[in-house]
Amino acid sequence: MGSLASGGGLLLFGTGGSTQITSHRDVAVNAAEGDDAILQFVDRSKDAGTVGDGAATVYEIRDNVGTFGSDEISVSARIDEDDIGAIDATVSDGSAPFEIDLRCSDETAGLRGEYTIELAFTASNADSTISADRTTDEPVTVDCGFDYGNSANYRDNTEDTTNTDIPPREAAKGSVTTPSNVNSDDGRYATFSSESRDDGTEIKGAEIGFVLPTAPKSDAYELRVEVSGDQPSGDWIVYLVDGAGTRLTSTGNGPKDKLKKNTNRFAFDSDESGRIRSNRTDLYLIFATTSNGNEVTAMVDYFELRPVSSSS
């Protein structure tokens, strides 16, 4: 692949991406991809494990001549779909080989699935700068938890809610207690409650919104909602909206939208799934009541919007 001297630049296309090498002094820089390269990039995505709260090692950088320290190497990473965004990447401390570890970031909160990862490396010292772009050989499993205990992720009509921009915004009614209990399917329940009668005549009901994590691309979707073994009091429905509050799925007039005890699975037709796919980064789940009951409740353990089949 040659070498480089006297401050020029050389663009190389190696396995999985490109490499740009610049010499800052009158020194030769070996640009090969093999064991005699200054930096050798080794893909470890096949055995990376799961990106989550803990780190998953997806790449290794071998400094074959001891040129760079870990503080002279930086890396950025993003999901290989342009509307998902960045994911946290770090370079291990100490001496080579340097491991590139990925963790979930704020932008990927709630993301689940298998994704190829784009990585951008830069190694720079007084003698030379090496910039390299790589994409993982294998998809990497990502499982980023989503914390509904954070009041920025739901909207009800209590003072605890901090994100008032979540649909249904100022139209929110009712309350949800211990919302963090819907984070996982573990038998712990959040209590959804409608409001009481207003002046003894008007039923105020419930309309509570939750942010949904980015949905994977799919031809079809279903919503799973786990409820306790007790039938919800009154009629509760669920439907999806976008950030503007536009309904993407059934308005709840049909029986398929009524919550029942234990496991609920709501399948969406092709039109509904198409709208979900088109708004998959801007989705909100609404729990609402349609009955005339006073202070009705539902005990919800977990909910998840998931793909039925993958889109090519």
Q: What is the pLDDT of residues 90-121, one digit of tens each?
A: 999 887 799 999 998 877 777 777 889 999 99
pLDDT value of position 23: 67
3-143: CATH class: mainly beta
Instruction: Spell out the domain ranges in the chain.
Output: 3-143, 151-310
What average pLDDT does this structure show over 216-221?
A: 90
Distance CA 148, CA 155 (A): 10
pLDDT value of position 92: 92
pLDDT value of position 220: 95
Q: Which of 158, 163, 132, 159 is nearest to 147 (CA)?
A: 163
pLDDT value of position 199: 58
Indicate the helix (H) or strand (E) that contains 299: strand 297-310
**Are residues 52 and 25 in contact, defined by beta-carbon separation less than 8 angstroms?**
no
Name, in order, each residue with C-beta under 8 angstroms of 89's C-beta and a sequence gap of 6 or more: 75, 76, 77, 100, 101, 102, 119
151-310: CATH class: mainly beta
pLDDT value of position 84: 73
What average pLDDT does this structure show over 224-235?
A: 95
**Are residues 119 and 100 in contact, defined by beta-carbon separation less than 8 angstroms?**
yes
Distance CA 47, CA 66 (A): 26
**How many percent of the chain have pLDDT more than 90?**
52
Residue pLDDT, tens place only, 175-203: 999 999 999 899 999 999 998 766 565 66
Q: Does 72 have pLDDT greater than 80?
A: yes
